[in-house]
Structures are given as structure tokens and as C-alpha cells.
Amino acid sequence: MRVFMLGWEFPPFISGGLGTACYGLTKALDQLGTEVIFVLPTMVQSRYTTHVKLLTPDLAMSEAPFKVHQLKNVLFRTITSPLQPYLTSSDYQQHIEQSLAHIQRQRGQTYDLCGGLDYSGDMFTEVARYAQIAVKLAENEHFDVIHAHDWMTYPAAVAVAAGLHKPLVVHIHSTEFDRSGEHVNQPIYDIEREGMHAADKVITVSHYTRSILISRYGIPGEKVEVVHNGVERNGNQNWSLADGEISKDEKIVLFLGRITMQKGPEYFLRAAKKVLEKMDNVKFVMVGSGDLMHRAVEIAAELGIGSKVLFTGFLRGDDVHKIYKMADLYVMPSVSEPFGITPLEALENDVPVIISKQSGVSEVLQHALKVDFWDVDEMANKIIAVLKYAPLEITLRNHGNFEVRRLRWIDSAEKCLRIYDDALAAVAYA
């Protein structure tokens, strides 16, 4: 089996769980002996990457495949592009300009990023350009099935599948309803829907997301398969915040993720306010960045808990594991979370978790406290219970850690291989 995979952030650079999922799944497929041609947009310098080392610094579209250390069956093709999986149309132009300026500074010269093409267009223009390059690239590759991750790759995947008559599998890590609620961006929704309907098989990361595809996108249920994410085990180191920010007798409650509407930062802060009315020896640490970052700081100040909330900004690599090791409790109050890898990472680091009922990961974790994202009273009560009652904290931590060890990427990869076979059979009999 040889897979043409259109993915993101490899190694995970890391703007979210999508890059982590692409890495975990691809590594597991490699271990199973599956050959993968991994195509990704890249403007990331290799010195910033984590987990594995890129063996070429070339930022242009590769003339030859390159390999990543320890992955024997994976070849990479890069397309120079400013596309990012969590980029919105509102900040797209600013991102392009910053990316171009960074490359020019690095190279000490003006760099024609894409052969003279004008970057004054919008995000959808770039998605279409990326698709055109991907089709040309695919014409020179040999593969059995196409596997596309997230909406920006769907036009490319659909075009490759149609042009080469290959089966298409699309992988849904998030939908426009998760990102935007009821105020969806119609062109993004249209691209998502077209990709799902064109696919021979659709993979979702949870039954929660599967139900959205059936009800909101009109995808037949028999076409949609659920493959839960796994967790990558990593080594950990001791680390601490700056001296004086947290005293030795203070508990740490952690929020880690993009600070956006989808992740529910406001509910986390309002629950923090209620906890601090009952307990004073607690600090709330918010790790991440996003369009609601400044608003979150304002909310903390308005609630009068500014001195009890610490904003670290964006962390990556080892620093993420170090902050987990400091935490006494991890809270994921997401408004709509297709899966949610961070609770698995927290449990893998022996941190008990409280998770939103509106998340896919709640389907696979039994030893986690669950709460509706909007119920800040119940969220606060459960935070207090974990911090005050050691037997509860120990039970959640020990049983949760044992439970998360069963969630392996190798199992996810084996399910994907069965889905590839089904997609191949569907095309053969069509």
C-alpha cells in the first residue's frame, strides 16, 4: 500500500492538534510498513521543528523527495506556501507579508516566493494555487490512495483523485461549525462539503464529529468511519515559571490550547473566579495564543483575578511537557471539540483532567471529570474537588494514566489501512 497524503506541520511546528495527529498517524503507518508520500505546505525553518529532524533546509518545492530521520517508508514533498491549518481569511494577508519579510531577512535578499505570482489575492486563491501544484506533483508519483487532512487540502485532493482516478479518503479533524459556531464562513463550508461528498471514505476523529457531518453536511452515515486519535509518549523534564510567580503551596490549574472562541477561555476564567472565592492558594495558567488572547487578559482583570492568572504565551516542544509536569489539574472547557489531544497528553504526564462534554475525547476517557462548557458553577465545583480531595486526584491521575496508554497511534493506523482497502474496493467496483 502506498499513500499520497496531503497533511500539515510535519514535524509538528505546532499551532494545534492537527500537526500532532499527522505526525502520530504517519509515524504509526511507517511502523506498519506502509509507504507514504507526505505533501505539505512549508515556510517553517527546520531549526524550529520538533520531534524529528528534517534532512534538507530547502524551502522551495523539492526537486527530489527527502526523508525524515527514523521514518523508513515516508517520503516528503514540500510546496512553498503560507497556508496554515488555523489561518483565517481576516489575518491572511498580514501573515503572508510577515512570512515573506522573514524569508527575505533570512536570505538577505528579495525572494520570489512562488515564481512571480501575485500574493494580493485572498486565502482561497492560495488554496487553489496549492491544488494546482499538488496535481502536477502527483502526476510524477506512484500511489494507491489519497489521504487528505483538513479543508485547505481538499481542493488539491479532489483534483488529484479526479485526474488520476484514485480513491480518496478525507480526514476531518475539525469542521467550520467547530471553529465558528453558527456563523460559518460559507466558502469554507462549501469546500469542506465538496471534499466530503467527493471522497470515497470519510474519517472523523469522533462520533461527535461524525454526527455533525451527517446532520450539517448531508454525508451518508455508511460513508463515515470514526478513528480516534492516539497519544505520543515522550520524555519529560523539570521546569518552572519565573521565580515569584507561583509559591510552593499554590496549586496550578492549566489551560493549554489556542485562545479562541472554540476553546472556551472565557468559561475557564469565569470558573476560576468562582474557585478563588472558595480557595486562595490557586494559580490559573493559560498557555497559548489566539485572537481572544487580549480579551482573555481583559476578562481576568474585569473579574478581579488578574494576579491569579498567568499568561505564558505560545509554548512548543519540551516546554509543553514541562508545563504539564508543573500542573495539578488540566481543564479543557471547549465549546466544540472534534477530539482534543491535550487531555491525553496531560494524563500521559500524570495530570488529572476535567473535559468538556462537547468533545470527542470524552468518548474514550472514562476516568476524567466531564462538564458542559457553559456550566461554570459545576466546572468550579469539580476543580475544587480535585484540588481539595487527594483520593479523588490520585484516582483520576492513576486510572487516567493507565487508560490513556491504551490509546495508541498504531491502532489508529491499522483502522486507516482497513479504510484504505474499503476505498480501493469501492473504486474497483464503481
Q: What is the CATH number of the domain that holds 210?
A: 3.40.50.2000
Task: For residue range 158-184, list pLDDT tens digits in order.
Answer: 999 999 999 999 999 999 999 888 889
- Kindly report, residue by residue over 277-305, the tens digit of the pLDDT: 999 999 999 999 888 999 999 999 999 99
For residues 247 and 278, the answer to whether their CB atoms sit within 8 Å is: no
| Together in a domain, 343 and 300 | yes
Q: Is 394 exposed, middle or buried (0-12, 13-18, 19+ CB in 10 A)?
A: exposed
Q: Tell me how far apart the alpha carbons of residues 327 and 90 are, in angstroms, rounded to a whole number.
A: 34
Which helix (H) or strand (E) element contains residue 27? Answer: helix 17-31
In a domain, 239, yes or no: no
Assess if residue 237 is contained within a domain.
no
Residue 387 lies in a domain: yes
| Residue 26 shares a structural domain with residue 154 | yes
Instruction: Provide CB contacts within 8 A for 50, sequence distance 6+.
Output: 11, 12, 13, 14, 316, 317
Q: What is the DSSP string of 362-405?
A: GGT-SSSEEE-TT-HHHHHHHHHHHHH-HHHHHHHHHHHHHHHT
Give the up-direction half-sphere exposure of residue 95: CA atoms within 13 A in the CB hemisphere. 18
Please report which helix (H) or strand (E) contains residue 414, including its range: helix 409-429
Q: Which of 179, 185, 143, 173 is nearest to 161 (CA)?
A: 143
Q: How far apart are the first and last CA of the chain?
A: 20
Q: Which one, of 12, 23, 24, 22, lies nearest residue 230 by Cα?
A: 24
What pTM value is reported for the model?
Answer: 0.83
Return d(Cα 394, Cα 261) in angstroms, integer: 32
Any domain includes 306: yes
- State the pLDDT at residue 110: 43
Q: Give the pLDDT band of residue 19 (cuts 50, 70, 90).
A: confident
The C-alpha atoms of residue 254 and residue 234 are separated, in whole angstroms, by 19
Q: Tabulate helix, strand, coil % of the chain (nearest 5).
A: 45, 15, 40
Cα–Cα distances (Å) from 403 to 215, 373, 398, 406, 407, in that order, read 31, 23, 9, 6, 8
Number of domains in the chain: 2
Which range among 41-45, 83-87, 171-175 shows the weakest confidence by mean pLDDT? 41-45
269 with 131, same domain: the answer is no
Domain extent for 74? 2-230+409-429
Assess whether pLDDT exceeds 90 at residue 202: yes
pLDDT the model gives residue 377 = 98
